[in-house]
């Protein structure tokens, strides 16, 4: 009962993902919370108010002018009074239209009016088609919500109801539940700030640009060269960096991970796209720190074939390979130079890694190089890393990637302190 005595308002807007919220309401009550559901008119077109009334045990509100029969505050002001007894409001799913309303302070529904009049935290879990999510208007609205202190959860990446694949999926019920437990649960399930108290604020005000995940180099419309990097280490560092007080821009290769809260994410595919985006973001954000965690492909085909290469054509053997740009080295040559931290995923033993890192750090001309054994960490939730700097090589004990991220950022904060 990790949410015992907690009370949440769950807002539901128009979207097929509303079916997931049924499970979330049930799971919240299993954890001891009480739930008040508020729906927009569009939301009721996907799942009925009666369904949520049965799941929550409470009347469902949707009309700004009338309350459900036999319920509602005596003063007839549900948009004021309903939020006063709640710990937080979670909008799941949040449609593109409703996000635009929030960003502009509009009050077209009871739910929007309640959000405007609230005095409690507001969490928004977007759900929409990938192109709607990527549209500049939506991204401007999301940026405005973040600036207003509203927490954005997700979206996730994967198959969509429209048949397309990409960003825009509502996070799964268990992911949304975990966010609420982390933020409003007991101390044993408290946010990372409670478990790692020494990291809060150590990079306050720093602008960080970082990369994560693999790159994908297309050979033809259906084939390409990539690697097994999951992006988990990079996303853990991004999550920890926000807690440390930094402004984080995360440039991600093709991965299936939700965006950490408070992180500005840009998705790319190829090494060239990642290189261009990194250089643009470092300039536009005046980045003080660059962390290159991504497993960037060293080589790419010189040309991408317009059609699928047939098995017996022999064309695969004729591919001409060209070297991809070295993103880390390019950033290290910039003036002024950000504090550059690189990652090296190697094969072999830890002794082999220890021998390789100093020379590689020297070639890159960077203050800190982090090494690990790629085959042992790709896709895993744990890792073991070596830190190579001016003082030598230090092996950290195996730990979760999030815990290692906290250790790494503490080290980066020391570098930052010495550089200033």
- Residues with a catalytic annotation lie at 162
Nearest to 385 by CA among 363, 367, 359, 411: 411
Count CA atoms within 13 Å of residue 85 on its CB side: 12
What secondary structure letter does DSSP report for 317? Answer: G
285 Cβ contact list (under 8 Å, min separation 6): 207, 209, 247, 249
Phi, psi angle pair for 236, to nearest 5°:
-65, -40
Distance separating alpha carbons of residues 102 and 11, to the nearest angstrom: 13
Q: Calculate the CA dihedral of residues 208, 209, 212, 214 and round it to 10 degrees.
A: -170
Extract the tokens encoding 306: 């317009």
Residue 1, classified by CB atoms within 10 Å of its CB into exposed (0-12), middle (13-18) or buried (19+), is exposed
CB atoms within 10 A of CB 276: 15
Helix, strand, coil proportions of the chain in percent (round to 5)?
40, 20, 40
- DSSP readout, 13-71? -SSTTHHHHHHHHHHHHHTT-EEEEEE-TTGGGTS-HHHHHHHHSSPPB--SS-PPTT-
Q: Which residues of 239-273 are buried (b: 16+ CB within 10 A; e: fewer)?
A: bbbbbbebbbbbbbbbbebbbbbbbbbbbbbbbbb
Alpha-carbon distance of 299 to 22, in angstroms, equals 47
Q: For tokens 């130079």, what's the residue?
A: 337
């Amino acid at each position: 009962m990790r949410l015992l005595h907690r009370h949440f308002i769950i807002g539901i807007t128009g979207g097929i993902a509303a079916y997931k919220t049924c499970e979330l309401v049930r799971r919240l009550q299993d954890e001891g919370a009480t739930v008040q559901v508020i729906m927009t008119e569009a939301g009721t077109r996907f799942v009925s108010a009666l369904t949520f009334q049965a799941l929550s045990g409470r009347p469902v509100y949707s009309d700004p002018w009338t309350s459900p029969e036999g319920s509602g505050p005596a003063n007839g002001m549900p948009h004021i009074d309903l939020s006063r007894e709640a710990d937080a409001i979670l909008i799941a799913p949040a449609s593109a239209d409703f996000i635009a309303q929030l960003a502009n302070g509009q009050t077209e529904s009871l739910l929007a009016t309640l959000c405007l009049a609230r005095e409690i935290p507001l969490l928004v879990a977007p759900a929409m088609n990938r192109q709607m999510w990527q549209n500049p208007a939506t991204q401007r609205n999301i940026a405005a919500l973040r600036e207003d202190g509203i927490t954005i959860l997700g979206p996730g990446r994967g198959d969509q109801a429209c048949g397309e694949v990409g960003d825009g999926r509502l996070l799964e019920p268990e992911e949304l539940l975990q966010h609420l437990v982390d933020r409003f649960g007991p101390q044993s399930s408290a946010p990372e700030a409670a478990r790692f108290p020494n990291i809060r604020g150590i990079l306050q005000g720093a602008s960080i640009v970082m990369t994560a995940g693999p790159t994908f180099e297309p050979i033809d419309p259906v084939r390409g060269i990539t690697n097994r990097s999951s992006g988990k280490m990079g996303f853990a560092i991004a999550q920890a960096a926000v807690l440390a007080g930094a402004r984080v821009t995360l440039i991600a290769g093709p991965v299936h991970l939700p965006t950490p809260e408070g992180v500005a994410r840009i998705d790319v595919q190829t090494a060239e796209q990642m290189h261009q985006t990194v250089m643009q973001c470092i300039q536009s954000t005046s980045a003080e720190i660059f962390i290159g965690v991504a497993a960037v492909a060293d080589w790419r085909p010189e040309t991408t074939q317009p059609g699928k290469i047939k098995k017996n054509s022999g064309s695969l053997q004729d591919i001409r390979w060209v070297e991809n740009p070295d993103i880390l080295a390019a950033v290290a040559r910039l003036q002024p130079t950000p504090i550059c931290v690189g990652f090296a995923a190697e094969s072999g033993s830890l002794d082999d890694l220890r021998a390789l890192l100093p020379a590689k750090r020297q070639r890159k001309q960077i203050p800190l190089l982090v090494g690990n054994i790629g085959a042992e960490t790709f896709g895993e939730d744990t890792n073991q890393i070596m830190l190579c700097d001016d003082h030598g090589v230090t092996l950290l004990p195996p730990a979760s990637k999030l815990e290692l991220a906290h250790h790494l950022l503490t080290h980066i904060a020391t570098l930052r302190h010495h550089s200033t």
